[in-house]
Structure 1
């Protein structure tokens, strides 16, 4: 096998685990709640604690890779992910599982930025990098499907006592193989710097991001009450202080966590805008779709899962073929993918009815997946295009952080609007009305993405010379 391709598959194992463990818990909630005697609030925290830890430490993870070496930090993150997965699998109570999931999220945050950074360093050529990002997109699709499948499969095993523990323990052999291959295959890359690591910056930024992500996830259940409002306000103050302090440190040539030179790069700013609006749309869509299917259209959870699998299949297929489309048509292929998503969303407003046949649902979700798979890999390519190796790790962490926070904002804001539109005693018509309003907001988000992509210079996603 090609040496670069083998190295790519090694680092993509980190992306696979990161995505898989976002989704693997969802299907297992009833059995975990029964065995651990957990409350509804504790179950929600098991899901959100991973995302809070993940979003809070992504920028730190990127900077760690820059300073101490991406290979070293990738392996460190993988080892901690393995240990925290073991802790999750052996948890004797709900609180211990919540804490273990939080540590697992932090481990994923240390690992994930190294994936994009190593891809940028490993594939400097545009055509090679585009193909590599295609594999990156395929990995996201596989992780999404595999997480939901394994969660359901392990939780339903007969003859096992508390079989849901296997959804965490399965990570251990994957991590061991990935660590072994990383030692043998990956080469170290780092940014030469005599400066020490900015520990105070880590503490300040992590506190600010923790508060904002916790407040946003908590408001999904309780709304924006006084406690969440105070946390959001305090978080804003901490983050403003962090930005001022970091700029001051850069002026004085002292250790810093974020290089604000990033935000002087047009491509990076456009990529951040595009990925933020895209994930506000995407995660809110999936959150609302599940509720609309089961409560509004009375589709069983099993059938809803089968339909959503077709979205994942479309995603994977598009990630394979989008590489050639991007190389042939440049950013026009990306815009075409966004238009496909808009068209499918509009069709869903008219065709998602109780009377609609199973295969029509599958077709529309498959087409939606095709559009998603065409877009996601190229958004990262835009943001990191032309990035110097000095800034790559920092950029990867910032990019992933914006993506995760945007996803939470989408779920809270558009999900809140959806529930507000339902009313107190919703009927099927009310669900359809609320879904239509949410889709309209999603379409507006996609229009912002299109505007950002149109402003991207043609040489960022150049067409292959014929």
Structure 2
């Protein structure tokens, strides 16, 4: 069993890279923009490119692992992530950096589903898997904090003319370590029956998801522009055709990309609903919080970053102790965690109404992180519980895809509501009103997650009777 935890440590390097590179670029935006002479629109696409590539290829990544081997695809993902990080680090222009960030996102999409899949296979017993998912949660917290910290640290160095390039080049030693130990320690796993790969399905799905995520990501304040609406309608049409195409292939026993048998599992459906609404809440919360802190409460960007780090610390702490609570109290602990987040959000509405002490900001963000860290690992556990090995990669890819698209929808939808209540020339009171409405939407999302978790059978997160 100790050997399995060593394998877990190795594959979590992939998860660390995936999360870290979502956040590491944010603090470096001004220096990157200045050095490569990029426009505001180009910078927006540069940030969005990673998320677009990531969300568009997660299902493909999961299916590749099922067919060709999870270890093999994980290592390929690491290799291409390293190469794309190098091209990011040496980019001389905005277009080159955008393409490299897109390639980074696609590489991350090859790794992420394998991490969840291999955790389910390495730890088939509930108690062991719950502990492993706790470490998965800790890795997300570390990646979030490390990304923001390293982004700020490297960008502030004076020993190099363009120090922001180090935010990408730091991935090279991490990738090399992960590749070496993956080859040496991690064992191959895949569905035993030799299958062909559905290349046409990849094209259709990638086109549909790419168009959808691109539209959502770049249309932040322009949701109802005609070109965005047309692209979204086209993308949805492609995805509907893809679903019909996949069902026909399954019926005729031809190579497929998604096995819709996934959706025959009640736990998986409940897990998908729960993770979707949870990430609509979570990512929209971080988005509006950053705006509210800096423009509403007049907190400087460095100070705001320090406060948000406390959220990550709470997340890591909760990921450690929530394992024992889940094993002891089952889904009751998860329900309590959701209720705790709602309470903290209500307190934030109250405390953030005017001048707020720095320690209060840190405490409330820390407690919010504690709530989030006690919930996230168990959502994946719910969705993938009882899933047969032949479907586990497919299930992991679909789960991650719903998570990423929900996060983007949350930023766009809740962000639009926030801007609506803010008005054209906002005053301090307008910021608090907009923040309050957005938080109430977040709480509504958590209520939906809570109802979904209540419907989860007790044997999915069983309570240990002592």
TM-score normalised to structure 2 length: 0.99
4+ residue stretches of structure 1 with deviation over 6 A?
A: none
What is the CA-CA distance between 1:117 and the residue it aligns to?
A: 0.3
Q: What do the CA deviations read for 1:386-432 (whole angstroms, capped 9, x no partner)?
A: 11101100000000000000000000000010001101100000000
Q: Equivalent residue for 1:266?
A: 266
1:285 maps onto 2:285 in alignment: yes
Q: Equivalent residue for 2:456?
A: 456
Q: Equivalent residue for 1:51?
A: 51
1:378 maps onto 2:378 in alignment: yes
Alignment of 1:405-424 (within 5 A): 405-424=405-424
CA distance, structure 2, for counterparts of residue 307 and residue 250 of structure 1: 50
Is 2:270–2:453's contact at 8 Å kept on the other side of the alignment? yes
Q: What do the CA deviations read for 1:10-50 (whole angstroms, capped 9, x no partner)?
A: 00000000000000000000000000000000101110000
Q: Equivalent residue for 2:391?
A: 391
CA distance, structure 2, for counterparts of residue 224 and residue 115 of structure 1: 37
Q: Equivalent residue for 1:168?
A: 168
Alignment of 1:218-237 (within 5 A): 218-237=218-237
Is 2:297–2:355's contact at 8 Å kept on the other side of the alignment? no
RMSD: 0.8
Alignment of 1:321-332 (within 5 A): 321-332=321-332
Alignment of 1:147-158 (within 5 A): 147-158=147-158
Alignment of 1:113-152 (within 5 A): 113-152=113-152
Q: Equivalent residue for 2:318?
A: 318
Q: Equivalent residue for 1:111?
A: 111
1:15 maps onto 2:15 in alignment: yes
TM-score normalised to structure 1 length: 0.99
CA distance, structure 2, for counterparts of residue 102 and residue 195 of structure 1: 29
- Give the total of aligned pairs: 466
What is the CA-CA distance between 1:137 and the residue it aligns to?
A: 0.2
Q: What do the CA deviations read for 1:434-462 (whole angstroms, capped 9, x no partner)?
A: 00000010000000000000000000000
Is 1:258–1:394's contact at 8 Å kept on the other side of the alignment? yes
What is the CA-CA distance between 1:63 and the residue it aligns to?
A: 0.1
1:74 maps onto 2:74 in alignment: yes
CA distance, structure 1, for counterparts of residue 307 and residue 81 of structure 2: 31
CA distance, structure 2, for counterparts of residue 460 and residue 333 of structure 1: 13
Q: Equivalent residue for 1:433?
A: 433
What is the CA-CA distance between 1:262 and the residue it aligns to?
A: 0.3
Is 2:201–2:242's contact at 8 Å kept on the other side of the alignment? yes
What is the CA-CA distance between 1:223 and the residue it aligns to?
A: 2.8
CA distance, structure 2, for counterparts of residue 92 and residue 356 of structure 1: 43
Is 2:223–2:229's contact at 8 Å kept on the other side of the alignment? no
What is the CA-CA distance between 1:193 and the residue it aligns to?
A: 2.6
Q: Equivalent residue for 2:193?
A: 193
Is 2:281–2:446's contact at 8 Å kept on the other side of the alignment? yes
Is 1:195–1:254's contact at 8 Å kept on the other side of the alignment? no
What is the CA-CA distance between 1:161 and the residue it aligns to?
A: 1.0
What is the CA-CA distance between 1:102 and the residue it aligns to?
A: 0.1
Is 2:221–2:416's contact at 8 Å kept on the other side of the alignment? no
What is the CA-CA distance between 1:304 and the residue it aligns to?
A: 0.7
What is the CA-CA distance between 1:463 and the residue it aligns to?
A: 1.3
1:356 maps onto 2:356 in alignment: yes
CA distance, structure 2, for counterparts of residue 159 and residue 276 of structure 1: 43
Q: What do the CA deviations read for 1:46-99 (whole angstroms, capped 9, x no partner)?
A: 100000000000000000000000000000000000000000000010110000
1:276 maps onto 2:259 in alignment: no
Is 2:307–2:361's contact at 8 Å kept on the other side of the alignment? yes
1:159 maps onto 2:159 in alignment: yes
CA distance, structure 2, for counterparts of residue 354 and residue 170 of structure 1: 40
1:28 maps onto 2:55 in alignment: no
What is the CA-CA distance between 1:159 and the residue it aligns to?
A: 2.2
